[in-house]
Chains A and B, each alone.
Chain A
Amino acid sequence: MNINRKIGAVIFVICTLFAITFFSCKKGVLNVTDPNVFSADNYPATIDDLNMELNDVYGRFRAGYYDADWYRFFALSRDHSADQAYKAIDFDAATQINFTKTDQAVAVLWEKHYENIAKCLNALNDIDRFKVKNPSMNAADKERVDLIEGQVRFARAWNYMILVNSYGETMITTEADKAKMGVPIIKKLAGIISETQIPRSSIGEVWTYIIDDLKASEAILKTKTWSGNDIARASGWTVKAMLGKAYIFSQQWALASAKLKEVIDGSGKSLIPFDQFKDMFGGKNEFSNESLFELNVIKDESQGWSVSDNVGTRLNIYLAPAVINEDGSTGKNGFGNYFVHDKNLFRFGFTGTAVTPAEQKLPAYLAQSRIWRDSKTVDPRLWVYSFQPYLDSLRWDNVTRPAAKMPGDGVNLETNIAWCFQKYVLRDAFVWSNNISIGHNMYILRLAEVYLLYAEALTKTGQNVNALEYINKVHRRAYGQANVDIPGIYDYASLTAATEAPDAALRNDPLKYEKWAELFAEGTWWFDVCRWKLGQNEADFYQKVATGNLTWNDNKYTLPIPLREMNTNALMKQNSGY
């Protein structure tokens, strides 16, 4: 025998055996799991795991309405807090309220909130599974699990509120409105396609569902409050206040006034003094005694522009304030083109009309403005929420920079006053040197709104005097009165007293005016416009935006159902006019 061949054959057999053993492990070659995820078979296993799901639910407050991308369209452009010096089809659609069913913004808002709801639903399912698996938890564990459930239910209710207010056929103004089309209620995570075909529930049903969730949450959280590293969680008072708001939106006035009163009396919250108030939108005085629920963000650019991976907001980029640079040129702290719609200045009572930078920086003009501000002949909140060119300033790189008029950027702003926003913007650092995102919390619910909601409930239940008092409390703080609970010189004398506003709807309606002025650019006014059917009034008052004239039709009270949803859900029905 040839020795070579023998060796060769032996090597060959060994190799073959090795190969076969190597590739056919006993478990079976095909038995692998995805290395990047947890298998649903053994997750969640602990209460900590459930808390991980709750973290997601909280993180998702950044997705949807309060995501800066959509906030600028739905909360700023739509109610004309903002005007814009930029031409683009989707931007124009927002400022002119010409949303279409194919708009990305319209689709994302819908999809994100439903995604949030699905996560809430899954967390609630997991809580149930966990309870079944662990029937004999000790009291402390049981409480931990319950608290998770309470918070998830609150979050789910809030997501539905955004949805029904945005896409519901109408706001509830009459009993008949409750039967109109709301949004689909998702009671089960779809496992198969047929389960994704959910029709729109009526508006009444949606509000009942929201209120049930909030009540269940309230039953768990009761008067629970949080502190330290939990301070941003929804407290029992957050839930009660939101429940009160839900009663307002569903026109259950008695329940609303009772619930809101409970918050006012029991929460220990109070309106913080004007000195603190004026800084509370720039990253300071967060979680103050006035706050009931905030979109909690911290400066974080670690994941670029991703809203899902970052815990900051980049709203400041879009609301970039203009400044006069050291060399005299005009610069911006960001790249947005949003500025305060000129008419808002007049609504706050400002009567100056200087449009060119040269006029705006005239000493006499500035002196007049200062007088108006100091004498409070103009609503002081104007200078809290916006920068007056040359009167206000920003400071970074150790240089104080006068605020400037928003530059035109190709859109003709020669006849615009064009002040820049102050609310939520970055004013003490240069955005590009600092990281794109900032950590300025946004207010989702604060006591001033609760007072005004309460006042509204009171007017509906015939308690006008008391209602006026709560409107005045908000007003007094805005005008710097130290103790807001005693009458003062700035008080409205009646529910029809004159306000700063020149327009028909707000001129003699302190409740509406305060709702607008106090919560300016905070994302609530548009829903009031819809509830109070002020669309025509607003279009008449604002008249135009920099890119065109405003027109009104009642279709604008609601958004179209996104085309993607119409195409994928056979049971979906479109809102009229779309």
Chain B
Amino acid sequence: MINRLSKTTVFLMRSTFIFALCTCFFNALLVASPGYAQKLKEIKISIQFSGQTLDECVKQIGIKTNIQFAFNPEELKIFNSSNLKFKKTSVQDVLERLLKNTSLLFAELGSKVVIYSTTNQSDLTQVKFLLNPSDDPLLPISGTILNEKGEPVQSVTVTVKGTSRSVVSNESGVFSIEADENDVLVFSSIGYSLREIAVGKNKMLSVQLTATINALDDIVVIGYGSQKRKDITGSISSLKGETLKNLPVRSVAEALQGRVAGVFVSGDNGAPGAAPSIIIRGPVNTRGTGPLYVIDGIPFTDAGNSFNMQDVENIEIIKDASAAAIYGAAAAGGVIIVTTKKGKAGKLLVSINSSVGSRKALNLPRLLSKDQFITARIANGDDANSFFGPESGRAALPNTNWFDFLYRNSLEQNHTASIAGGNDKSTYYMSVGYNDQQGVRIDNFVKRYTIRINSDHKINSRLKVGQNFYLSSENSNPTNLSNQGALSFRSSPIMKVLDPLNAAGGGWGRTPGYFQGGNDYANELVNYRRNNNYTANLAVYGELEIIKGLKLRQNMALKYAAFDNYSYNYRYDWGQSRRDFARFGKGYSKGLEFLGNTTLNYAKKIGKHDLSLLAGYEALRGKGDFIDGYADFSNANLNRDFNFVSQLTTANNRLSGSGSDVSRRNSMFGRATYSYADKYLFSANVRRDGVATAFGPNNKYGVFPSVSFGWKVINENFLKGSNIFSDLKLRASYGTLGNSDVDGFLFLNSYNAGYPAVLGANGPILTSFNIRTRMVNKDIQWEEVATTNFGVDMAFLKNALTVSIDAYSRQTKKMVYYLPIAGSAGQGADLPFNIGQMSNKGIEFLVNYNGSIKKDFSYSVGFNGAYNTNKLISLDPKLGGQFFDGGLNEFYGGGATASKTEPGKPLGQFYGWVANGIYQTDVEGGKGPKVGNYTPRAGDLIYKDLNGDGKMTDDDRTYIGNPWPKLTYGINLSIQYKTIDISMLLTGVMGVDIYNAQESFNHNFFGDYNTTADIFKTSFFNGTGLTNVPRGFYPQNVPVVGGGDRNGNWSRVSSYHVQSGSFLKMRNMQVGYNFSNKLTKVVGISSARFFMMADNLFVITKYKGYDPEIAGGVRSRGIDNSNGRYPSTRLLAVGLNINF
């Protein structure tokens, strides 16, 4: 009968049989081990030793307890027991005591307890079994796996080479596997070099693994598959989840800051949940399209904040086109692949990571106090009576420092508890997380609860299934900033925050007569808001090995996101502003996205040829909706239920917003990798994407190919035995990627709601529809981004020093450019066209050194840096309006734009007048160019009249600064000394300009705003005379038209306000103390670490503003409008990591 079955079936059956046996055995082992360990603790004996050799001692124990011991008598004979006496002591304790001060360890294995040496491994072949060594014919090959320090290594995968049989070592480093004499065992584990050992006649092996330093054998997750780091031909950076442990980061982008060369992350404010900007290898287009995130196989355009970073096992950042091309039209901004933790077969691991800390706002400005304010306002020529009333009453005016009320030191907590474990068939990882970040501004927080469940199951030797479930619930109280921004420069020191006399108005302080701003403190509190965000990401997969090497994998994923926002606006009256009705508002949304992909993967090695092929199909469809409603009512205590809104007939109530969103994508992709003799590597990717909402009917599908080559020079004969290199690999790649993140349906002409009309005297309100204010572009398509990358990976000093250098050129073509349209066309402001070209060229480098001084002092230093030059090359010359400008706040005059983007230049260059000192005399000023009708005077900025027409106009503007840094870098330091560990992350930028718009607020009154004491340093202010700071004050009798600041010293864009923004920040510093095992064992903990952490500890910079880390978009970057910025913060925290 067997003959009639195919060979394959026979193999399958045989392997299944063996597999089943292994499974049985290991299940037994897994069950038995803890039980037996329990037994070792439970079985108590009374025994006495007096200097016998240890083998004799152990034999005695064996006889007394019936426990089977296995050991090499030669190893035990070396040692003699001391004089020991035990009374009703557990075997565990007896053995521990006995083997103390020896190089021997013991471990339970199957039904036996093995005693083995950690030093004298060669002699292990002499291990003999004490009792009936042959009593178990099925006894597999067993062994212990140790690292260089002699410590057991758990979770090592032990595979019988050429078969799918594998087991995993337990927490004592012990494994057991069915193998025969001719087999070769392969030992692999992350962080250790791969090792192969021929079994031979040995039944008991001791295996030493060497820790890898450059992690060349690490598995790198690439799109729809994985590769070994040493075989990578593209530019992929990896970041281990371990590095992010305990960091107070809430988003993937934030986690990457300073850690990966070429990934430029900047956060510009300290609001809880604020999203930093992330730019990989310079802006890919004028919109600054961000990277694609792929989390456990599910793509996200933004990973957002609702992700527990403590669940992260690994992050891969794909920067070039070779690997990213498998993601096609979504990948041009780079791809960030996040893999979350999985369980490992073996002991159940329970770990708890907790930290609690306090945040403090940094560099809050000091606004003028009452007395300063009165002095300064009068000196400014403002009408004192209308501001402060008669002089007699001024002493009684309040003196309020608003920041005392608006800012606080806030509490932050971050807790994650996880369990991970499994057996050889099933592994799992589960975690719960809680993150609570209170804002330093009052009435502001973000809390997040997360649950993750990941598991993988082998149904049989050919079929695997698994799942990743992630749920998060985020509850936040956003700030309610008035139009004066987070720093409340528009606040009045002579106004009370609270005023009991205004009980009817809510008890809020009332605005003084002159003041048109509000009560920022009250504004936060009367506008009650709670936002709830829910996300669920569910993915399941199945993988079937059809024949050896050919795998069919099916992934199904579902992404669900919803919000449920609630707001309640109380009635109030603070003078200038009053609301006599309460408003209740509620908004809901839901978005659902389905993703499915099927891949077929074939890998085959024939001699020196190693080939793998991948083909796949992927489809995505999604739909989202939102709806908002509100109700106004004059009775503040009415029911606040949403259903109630529809029942209110007397109040103003309505549905205020709704909308829908659809997404569809349809893709095919493939990959081939080939290597010859482990020297020459080749890889090609291609993807064909159709994006329903983004690509016009004339361009429904885009194709994105890439190729890459690698040369492992280290494996060439001429480098064999090299004293210099321990690794050397050259890489080259080229490929085309796409961007498809343009607005939806730009190719469709449509009608939407227009201006409602009323045609009766008192209503009704009539709906209207008319053609959409937008021109249609039927040819809209993806952007094409071609990247050429050259890289070299080098390692020296036995991999202690590694260096990687990448050089790239990334050319964006058919860039979507929102072409400004003539207003006279009446078709809106702009229309996207694929007409732009942009270039980014740069060099990145990464240097790591791992060193140690003596045995217990080790350290590592990493430095990564990137240099990028960006240039907008061209737009269609036939079209007008070939520039963008933008970026400043409304208080700036002259069109209020500080940034200009023009072909031939990098994006978002500062553009304005050139200021060249300060006029020292009125006579000098009289010779200078006029500003409008104003003739400059002493104390005014000297502007350069570039076109020489005698007056300063828009035509005299030129490029005055560059917001893009020449160098972005990060420095990682870690030190391990005995039980103490220290880690530091520093990030920095060099050669960058900031447009300091904030200093205008600090030196000058805008409208009814307050300012800082810097105003007293300005020229001719309050009798200062000429200083080195330009004037903002002009005497009333200056015979010119216009208000204050007539020369525009503080209100025109000029080079005076452009400052160097280079900085080096101590981003994060942690000092940890690891409790000794002895101590922790007492309380049943396997390891415990206490740490102290400082986030954003200090910054070294010459920049004069509050914080030189400034983001912004890609076209109006580096403009410091601190007045509107939530202040940056420093976190000091303590925490515990505990593993059970």
Contact = CB atoms under 8 A, between A and B. Distances in A.
B895 A563 contact: yes
B771 A40 contact: yes
Contacts of B827: 115, 118, 189-190, 196
Nearest to A332: B576
Interface stretch (A16-24, A208-216, A237-245, A474-482): A16-24
Interface stretch (B380-388, B401-409, B1066-1074): B380-388
A53 B825 contact: no
B664 A413 contact: no
A183 B824 contact: yes
Contact of B759 (A86, A118, A296, A562): A296
Interface string A386-425: 0000000000000000000001111111100000000000
Contacts of B598: 16, 19-20
Contact of A197 (B386, B594, B822): B822
Given A110-B823, A114-B825, A311-B756, A53 B768 contact: yes
Nearest to B766: A55
A547 B577 contact: no
Enumerate the 8 nearest inter-chain pairs by beta-carbon distance, A residue then B residue, closest first: A59-B755, A118-B826, A56-B754, A23-B619, A433-B580, A102-B895, A55-B768, A229-B760
B452 to A, nearest CB: 23
Contacts of B894: 89, 100, 102
Interface residues of B, number: 117
B832 to A, nearest CB: 12
A219 interface: no
Given A35-B660, A36-B752, A565 B760 contact: no
Given A36-B752, A308-B755, A119 B826 contact: yes
A504 interface: no
A430 B576 CA distance: 12
A296 B759 CA distance: 7
Interface string A5-28: 101110110011001101110000
29 contacts: A5-B462, A12-B463, A20-B617, A29-B664, A30-B664, A34-B748, A37-B750, A49-B769, A52-B767, A56-B754, A58-B757, A58-B768, A87-B1044, A89-B1051, A96-B1041, A186-B824, A190-B825, A193-B775, A231-B759, A302-B654, A303-B656, A335-B516, A409-B516, A410-B1007, A547-B1042, A564-B823, A564-B881, A567-B880, A572-B822
B1034 to A, nearest CB: 11
Contacts of B1039: 549
A174 interface: no
Interface string A427-469: 0001011110001000000000000000000000000000000
Interface string B564-598: 00000000010111111100000000000010101
B770 A52 contact: yes
Interface of A: 1-2, 4-5, 7-9, 11-12, 15-16, 19-20, 22-24, 29-40, 43-44, 49, 52-60, 62-63, 86-89, 92, 96, 98, 100, 102-103, 107, 110-111, 114-119, 121-123, 183-184, 186, 189-193, 195-198, 228-233, 286-287, 296-298, 300-303, 308-309, 311, 329-331, 335, 407-414, 430, 432-435, 439, 547-551, 562-565, 567-570, 572
B776 interface: yes
A62 B765 CA distance: 14
Contacts of A102: 894-895, 954
Nearest to B541: A15
A287 B761 contact: yes
B6 to A, nearest CB: 12
B776 A191 contact: yes
B826 A117 contact: yes
B750 A39 contact: yes
Contacts of B751: 37-40, 43-44
Contacts of B623: 35
B690 A186 contact: no
B636 interface: no
Given A29-B619, A30-B664, A111-B823, 14 more contacts: A5-B463, A12-B544, A15-B542, A16-B552, A34-B693, A53-B770, A58-B757, A115-B827, A193-B831, A193-B833, A198-B822, A229-B760, A232-B761, A408-B514
Contact of B756 (A23, A59, A196, A567): A59
B121 interface: no
Given A52-B768, A115-B773, A548-B1042, A15 B759 contact: no
A234 to B, nearest CB: 10
Contacts of B823: 107, 110-111, 114-115, 562, 564-565, 568
Interface string B812-828: 00000001111111111
Interface in B144-168: none
B513 interface: yes
B689 to A, nearest CB: 10
Contact of A119 (B12, B381, B745, B771): B771
A576 B935 CA distance: 23
B758 interface: yes
A86 B383 CA distance: 12
B1007 A300 contact: no
B905 interface: no
B824 A110 contact: yes
B666 interface: yes
A410 B660 contact: no
Contacts of A410: 377, 382-383, 386-387, 514, 1007-1008
Contacts of A548: 1040-1043
A103 B1070 CA distance: 52
Given A9-B544, A407-B386, A119 B770 contact: yes
B926 interface: no
A111 B617 CA distance: 47
A425 B274 CA distance: 42
